[in-house]
Amino acid sequence: MQTEASSSNDNLFENDFCHVTAEGALVQNDNPLFSGKTLEEDVNAENAEEKAAHYSAAFSKLEVELKEKLSNIQAGISAKELDNFKKSFLDELKEVKAVGDFPALMSHIEQDLSAKAVAIKNEATSADSPEDADLAEDSAQAAEDVAKKEAKAEEEAEANKPGEDAEPAASDETTSEEAEEAGEPTPEEYYKQLTKKAQDLSEIKNTKAASDAYESLKAKWTSGPEFDHIDYYKLKDKFEAVEKDLETRRLEYQKQQEEKRKKNLAFRDELIERVQKLIDEEKWSAQSEISSVTRKFESVKPLPKEGTAEQEARLKSLLEVFEQNRVEYLVDVRQKEEDNLTGKLITIEKIESLISTADEKTQDWKSLDDELEKLFKDWKKIGRVPKEKEDDLWKRFHAAREQFFEARVDNDPEFKKEMDKNIEKRLRLITRAEELKGTDSLATAARDINNLHNEWKKLGPVPQSQNDELWARFKKASDEFNSVRDENTDKIKEEEAANLAEKERLIAEVQKLIDQEGWKGSTKKMEKVFEEWKAVGPVPRRKSNSSWKKFRKLMDNFYKERRSYFKQVRSEQQDNLKAKRDIVDKITELAKAENIEEALTEVKALQEQYKEIGFVPIKHKDKIWDKYREACDLFFGELRERGDKSSQPSGGGGGGRSSGGGSQEKQLSGELFKLRKEAEQLRNDIAKYADTKTYFKPNKKGQKLIDEIQGNIDKAETKLEDKEKRIAEVLQQIEEVKNADQD
């Protein structure tokens, strides 16, 4: 199955068993047999799929050859021969240049060799049931173990047999005396030994072997000496209990085997359905998958007697359908390849003809380049060609492109200038790669070398002769650093662990910012933590993604909580603004009171209330203050006009204006009003900028926008600082003018 190259690795081509890197290396995917196996260099996007198909065909041919070799190996090979054959096949698989399911092929080889190794033993073992046949070898081994135990017991009995001078044991049974005189065990010892051997059979896992051994012991028991004693019946109960236990175990084993056969039969049904699906979807090119399914189908054992033949017949029928359609498919493919060959030959002739016109007289290089680019695209659209023509055709196409490239470098000054820039960029990357060997942070350098390779892939073209030389230098620097890195893996791991600990500390810092009371200054602290996070070097790869997700989630929570907090604050400030407006309206209304002296007490109380009310939205701060002062000036002006000259405004929130002022005070007041309005606008802008920042994620694109917004905030804060300084100066000047008027 072909897949598109992902953004994570920038491969030119990729399927289940191989991939083509951005540098044009066709690499067999890693598997338990080998890793990093490069099959071919200089592969490109146009011929990558064809190259992969070529090596897949080589794998199919390899399968046929190895199966033929396996068929020539005689059954009954020894363990040593088995190991030698396995090693021989493994070495051959490692050396071959092919693409396919190597682990599955090796598994098939091992199963076939193992089957041949036990073939003679299986022939020598009789079996009445399927499970007996499957376990013949184990049965033989178990029987051998029983025989050894019997021999050992006989040796012990012989060693314990009394000597000629020993006194006979007291016994009422004549058979015991006769046995002793004959040097044989007594009847009691005879049946004890048989019972002990029967009980030892519980250690044998193979129920067939244990049952066979028991039957042998049972025959000996039946033909044993007479022993009419209570101990005989006790021993007999123990002996027969073993038979019951063996029967229970045998039935359980048969049940387990039956379940296994059913599962294996169902699994083979699934394999058949996979073949059916490939046929239904008309995937006639899926020969590798068909081969893999067939191998698995043949290797599934044990199987029940019923249903197996039907499955094999169905699979055989499906394989015949697949093979028939595959032949037709290959014929069609061949015809299409021939047609494609014709199309590519026509296209390359047009390319060569157009390139032949490129020389020092060429004026419009862009138009020529556009025409060639169109032909190059036409070339890429044309599918694969016959394998035997592929290499020559590609070399001809590549040579034509290089000819045009060199002609343009020699005759187009602007293009040469662009090439020189590309060369300079490559040289800078080479210098950075060469400097990595002496870096203090190997963990960071290990990350940087990967980034440098990614940058290299994105660079524009350079002349082929210089490209090879530059790439050789860059690769040499990379290889030298990789050697240093490989020699210091422990140091890198320690550094990554330290970086992880630092990032965990920063995660805890973000949590503290979320948990703290109040949000004043928290945004700058959060930004500082984020800058520290970006400065920390790489962490262990398995932890990199999870630690970033954790940090990012907390950072998002921080800004979410902050927005929620200030949303509540803004709501409260709106309430405060409304309360202050109500007070301004009341003071203004009280200035019209008939008994203004009685209203004075209420006004003073309202002034106290005004001072106790909290903050209002920053853009309304100066406006409401000015309206409050105007209301207070209005009230106390009325109070003075009505004769209460001794009354003075109370509280720090307002009062009557000085009767003096003149033109200078008016001029300063006008400037003060303008300054306050401008300062209010700046504060409003800063608040909006700060709030807007919280909506951008600190990724590559978002961080750029965050930096731009922060620049606007910094500029606005500088202007606000200047405005506030000037406001303080104007207030001081107004105060001085008032004092001068009073004097």
Instruction: Please report which confidence band the pLDDT of residue 148 belongs to, taking 50, 70 and 90 as the band edges.
Output: low
Q: Which of 274-288, 622-636, 667-681 comes out lowest in average pLDDT? A: 667-681
Would you list the DSSP string of 650-698? -STT--PPPS--HHHHHHHHHHHHHHHHHHHHHHHHHHHHHHHHTTS-S
- Residue with the two structure tokens 């290990």: 446
Q: Is residue 616 part of a domain?
A: yes
pLDDT surpasses 60 at 409: yes
Those residues whose C-beta lies under 8 Å from the C-beta of residue 730, and which sit 6 or more positions away, are 668, 671, 672, 675
Q: Residue 618 pLDDT more than 90?
A: no
Is pLDDT of 457 > 60?
A: yes
Cα 385 from Cα 379, distance rounded (Å): 12
Residue 711 lies in a domain: yes
Does some domain include residue 269? no
In this prediction, residue 347 carries a pLDDT of 93
- Is the same domain home to 598 and 614? yes
Q: How high is the pLDDT of residue 565? A: 80
What was the pLDDT predicted at 266?
93
* Residue 220 in tokens: 């000996």
Query: Comparing 120 with 24, which gets the higher pLDDT?
Result: 24
Q: Which long-range contacts (CB under 8 A, 24 or more apart) does 110-115 make?
A: 110/86, 111/299, 112/70, 113/70, 113/73, 113/77, 113/82, 113/85, 113/86, 114/82
Lowest mean pLDDT among 19-33, 73-87, 454-468, 623-637: 73-87
Q: What phi and psi, each to the nearest 5 degrees, are found at residue 171?
A: -160, 145
Predicted confidence at residue 182, as pLDDT, reads 53
Do 665 and 653 belong to one domain? no
pLDDT at 125 over 50: no
Decide if pLDDT at 492 tops 70: yes
Instruction: Say what percent of the chain tops pLDDT 90.
Output: 13
State whether 443 and 470 are in the same domain: yes
Say if residue 549 is in the same domain as residue 513. yes
Q: Which two tokens stand for residue 506?
A: 């920063």
- Nearest Cα to 389, choosing from 349, 347, 338, 348? 338
Q: How many domains does the chain have?
A: 4
Domain that holds residue 64: 13-124
Residue 332 domain flag = no
Whether 123 has a pLDDT exceeding 70, the answer reads no
The pLDDT value recorded for residue 132 is 43
State the pLDDT at residue 653: 43
Domain boundary pick from 101, 124, 147: 124
Does residue 108 belong to any structural domain of this protein? yes
Supply the pLDDT for residue 696.
Answer: 67
Residue 141 has pLDDT above 60, yes or no: no
Residue 581 lies in a domain: yes
- Asked if 473 and 522 sit in the same domain, the reply is no
Q: Supply the pLDDT for residue 445.
A: 86
584 and 461 belong to one structural domain: no
Domain limit, last residue, from 92, 124, 156 = 124
Same domain membership, residue 61 and residue 29: yes
**Residue 624, CA distances (Å) to 375, 451, 580, 581, 649 in order:** 73, 57, 7, 7, 18
Mean pLDDT computed over every residue of the chain:
80
Residue-wise pLDDT for 592-605, tens only, equals 888 888 888 888 88
- Domain check: are 474 and 493 in the same one? no
Identify which has the larger pLDDT, 684 or 179.
Answer: 684
Cα(301)–Cα(304) distance, integer angstroms: 9
Res 277 pLDDT > 90: yes
The size of the chain, in residues, is 743
C-beta of residue 94 within 8 angstroms of C-beta of residue 34:
yes
pLDDT band at 174 (very low <50, low <70, confident <90, very high): very low
pLDDT digits (tens, 9 = 90+) for 540-568: 888 888 889 999 998 888 888 888 888 88
Give the pLDDT confidence score for residue 172 in this predicted structure: 39
- pLDDT for 654 equals 44
Q: CA 703: distance to chain centroid? A: 24
Question: In which band, very low, low, confident or very high, does the pLDDT at 169 lie, cut at 50, 70 and 90?
Answer: very low
Which is higher by pLDDT, 483 or 74? 483
Residue 489 pLDDT > 70: yes
Strand pairing class (18-20; 13-14)? antiparallel
First to last CA, the chain: 98
Q: Which residues contact 705 (CB under 8 A, 6 or more apart)?
A: 696
3-state secondary structure at position 640:
helix
541 and 619, same domain (yes or no)? yes
Single residue among 422, 455, 487 that ends a domain in this structure? 487
**pLDDT in the model for residue 582:** 93
* Statement to judge: residues 647 and 739 lie in one domain: no
Asked if 519 and 651 sit in the same domain, the reply is yes
So what's the pLDDT on residue 149? 52
Q: Confirm whether 556 is domain-assigned.
A: yes
The dihedrals phi and psi of 19, each to the nearest 5 degrees, come to: -150, 155
Q: Sorting pLDDT into bands at 50, 70 and 90, what band is 183? A: low
526 neighbors 510 (Cβ within 8 angstroms): yes
**What angle do helix axes 596-612 and 541-590 make, rounded to 10 degrees?**
180
> Is 281 a residue whose pLDDT tops 50?
yes
**Residue 513 and residue 646 in one domain:** yes
Mean pLDDT, residues 485-506 taken together: 89
